[in-house]
Structure 1
């Protein structure tokens, strides 16, 4: 029956025991916490194929990522027929995968057998950004195909819809997303709906109205400090519009081996920039979608992705997106309210040198007396009154959580 159910779970082994409450919500609303998973684009670009998708799914299990909440395995552009190829669809109008994806239903079954979920990609225009077949005028057919394959997530990328839209009015920007949402509503499957149109017409103001569960707020990210800084620290105006079932999406994660094609390289972000990347996205309640080769996870990257205390900030059920509460020179403070009444706090140094900083609680709108924990170090720091002294590396962060 629809409703909210609370289940107490206790686990124990030779190291001890712990108890947590699991809240289960049953109803029409989905995506109540930000999606966590992997997308093929930042890694493989148009060189993606079924074997690479299966390898990513297996890596989720073999590397232990699944046990930390990483769930979605999403195919981006390049899985169906190129715009210049024929046929693009069968005699019934159903979309055809290309030779790189010989059996979509089997792929979906394989992903689900691992306890994971499958995502796919399309465009409301005639073709995708990579010049593959789009869903224009075949939205209902495609939605039914996705459901029959076991798809759990659709990234719907504006791309060639500029050729169709009559103008840049709000109604024209909304129209293709309403059409596909109506098609998704006709299938007997919950499919997370990701709007990808780069923040046009301030999509955060209306994304939920057209049925979106998440929406890109910017253009594509790259693995540079300039791109990370510009995108991550601009998520201010959209803050009030995030919450359970509808999330601002500042794009995918650029840690590990990336490349947007067959030739990969290790991320150009420094270790401290990577800590900033993961910390800020978690404070923002952002979707966490990896874009790296999961078969080349080094110990540092794996540590970034499996710190449960950090991930818990992103997945907090209140769904509150952090606010920028203080800017002092190169220092920015972002505060996220949590469901238990406490806060998570990120103190970021955007400057080019390590800085000593006195963190004044009142200036950041925080209580006078705080018990604090360093989340990356999993270490209680103690009690502080009015403020605390910090040393923050260049482009780095101190990520704290208030404890009761």
Structure 2
């Protein structure tokens, strides 16, 4: 009798329905067909940090439309840290009732009514970087709440994550988002510590490659236990990562500082290089108070087209001479973007002989060979044609600035 019982028990647990984990298999793969070009939008952190409320977010959404940024392709209105209130007795997260008295669902509805998309922020740890409730242990509940609000984008940070392994933590939130059933873009904000480019492409839609940016062209801000980085420092840290980027999965060198205090030439160079490396274009300035120069930089559609090119290939540095870097980005239809970046504090002359400098990109297998094909040359910031590749290109690049060209067959 005992043998029979043991046999039956053994058979029961060997059946598919009793297999360990069979009924609880998780889907650790992100939603497909999202972020097929680098995401474009706005985030509150760089300018406002924790000083966020629903009045500000509504006004920024209005400004995104009024300034022409929506028409230029900017889509997301993302609230960063400090929107959080408390968890209820069942563990569900709520917004701060003083800052967001109408509730996140009403705010999301307002943003959606503008033809825009809505993003929020959380953290893989027990607390966010700003000390609000993190998602650790509440991932599936939080994902349900975000879906009920109508969230379209989640930035997921990495503070207070004692003992967690990044890949596993981000797979957990991905599984939670899949279970909640609403397609949400996942922005992995792990600062590049655990090489998210190696495991991130199936888990999220973009991943931070570095620590935080700040509004300085070429400097480092040492906070003691951590550093924030200037634009050029972050650009340098992208070396060796381009093979991991493509439609639906992007290297993220952090948000834009355009309009946050650097002069127009440095903002222009910053914006150009983020466009060249197919970076997400998430602005971080006060859209309600933009200068004409800032607006013109952020809405230059010819430059935006370089970033949003459907081929989805990240650009690369081809050469450096006298503090001037030459960068190239293959584009759809055999076109090329070419940038001359002057990192010095003095204007620098450049001369590029297309006829004697054939270029092949091993990653995309695209070729730029002016001896075989004649290209029209257009200066995208000057907004004027600049001849063809039958003649060498010559110009002076101002200090901390760029010349950006588009080559079309």
- Tell me if TM exceeds 0.5: yes
Structure index of larger Rg:
2
Structure having the larger proportion of residues in strand: 1
39, 47, 53: which is aligned to 1:43? 47
2:34: which partner in 1? 30
The range that moved more, 282-291 or 374-383, is: 374-383
Give ranges in structure 2 of 5+ residues lacking alignment.
Answer: 1-30, 219-229, 360-367
The 2-side partners of 1:333 and 1:199 are apart by: 26
Matched positions, count: 354
The answer to which of 319-328 and 357-366 deviates more is: 357-366
Contact 2:139 2:173 in 1 (8 A): yes
Query: By how many angstroms is 1:364 displaced?
Result: 6.8
How many angstroms apart in 1 are the aligned matches of 2:167 and 2:333? 36
- Report the alpha carbon displacement of residue 29 of structure 1 after superposing the two structures with TM: 2.2
**Displacement of 1:339 after TM fit?**
1.0
What secondary structure sits across from 2:50 in the alignment? helix
Aligned residue among 233, 238, 246 for 1:230: 233
Match of 1:183, SS? helix
Q: Residues of 2 paired with 1:279 and 1:143: CA distance? A: 35
Aligned partner (choices 49, 64, 67) of residue 63 of structure 1: 67
Residue pair 1:125, 1:164 contacting (<8 A) in 2 also: no
User: Is structure 2 residue 365 aligned with structure 1 residue 367?
Assistant: no
Q: Deviations over 1:75-125 (max 9, x none)?
A: 0000003xxxxxx21122210111212211000000000000000000010
1:252 to 252, 255, 266: 255
Is 1:123–2:123 an aligned residue pair? yes
User: Which position in structure 1 is the counterpart of 2:90?
Assistant: 92
The answer to whether the 8 A contact 1:208-1:246 is kept is yes
Corresponding residue of 1:319: 312
Candidates 269, 278, 282, aligned match of 2:275 = 282
1:9 is aligned to none
Does 1:356 find its partner at 2:349?
yes
Q: State the 1:207 CA deviation.
A: 1.1
| 1:213 equivalent in alignment to 2:202 | no
Secondary structure, aligned partner of 1:151: coil
Q: Distance in 2 between matches of 1:310 and 1:326?
A: 21
CA drift of 1:173 comes to: 2.2
CA-to-aligned-CA distance 1:188-245 (integer Å, 9 cap, x gap): 2110000001111222122113x11000111111111111111123322111110000
Structure 1: give runs of 5+ residues left out of the alignment: 1-26, 82-87, 166-171, 259-266
Over the aligned positions, Cα root-mean-square deviation in angstroms equals 1.4
Displacement after TM superposition at 1:314 (Å)? 0.5
